């Protein structure tokens, strides 16, 4: 079980932001296309709130990518956390 969800949510949000910027899409535009409030989307991108699966699905469809892309790099983070915990 993840005891501290902050790093996970921050990585997830950073990935969403990266894909949005790669598409030259503003936060306003993405929020409008998803029918989602800009402030809530901003909190997801900054890792301050946990998005629902449907919200992630909707964002991925609007951006034209697979939802699994939002989780890139998380496995490496978990491996590093496991290495640190086992060394203690």
Domain ranges of the chain: 6-81
Per-residue confidence (pLDDT) for residue 81, from 0 to 100: 53
Runs of H (alpha helix) within the chain: 6-22, 27-34, 38-45, 53-63, 74-87
Confidence bin at 76 (pLDDT 50/70/90): low
Q: Count CB neighbours of 28 within 10 A.
A: 10
Q: What pLDDT sits at residue 5?
A: 86
Contact call for residues 48 and 9 (beta carbons, < 8 A): yes
More confident residue, 58 or 77: 58
Q: Is the pLDDT of residue 80 over 90?
A: no
Share of the chain above pLDDT 90, in %: 70
Q: What fold is seen in the domain 6-81?
A: 434 Repressor (Amino-terminal Domain) (1.10.260)
pLDDT of residue 6: 87
Provide the whole-model pTM.
Answer: 0.79
């Amino acid at each position: 079980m993840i005891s501290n969800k902050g790093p996970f949510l921050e990585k997830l949000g950073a990935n969403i932001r990266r894909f949005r910027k790669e598409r030259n899409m503003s936060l306003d535009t993405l929020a409008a296309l998803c029918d989602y409030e800009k402030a809530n989307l901003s909190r997801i991108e900054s890792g301050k709130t946990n998005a629902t699966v449907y919200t992630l699905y909707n964002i991925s469809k609007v951006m034209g990518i697979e939802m699994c892309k939002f989780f890139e790099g998380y496995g490496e983070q978990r491996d590093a956390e496991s290495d640190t915990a086992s060394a203690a």
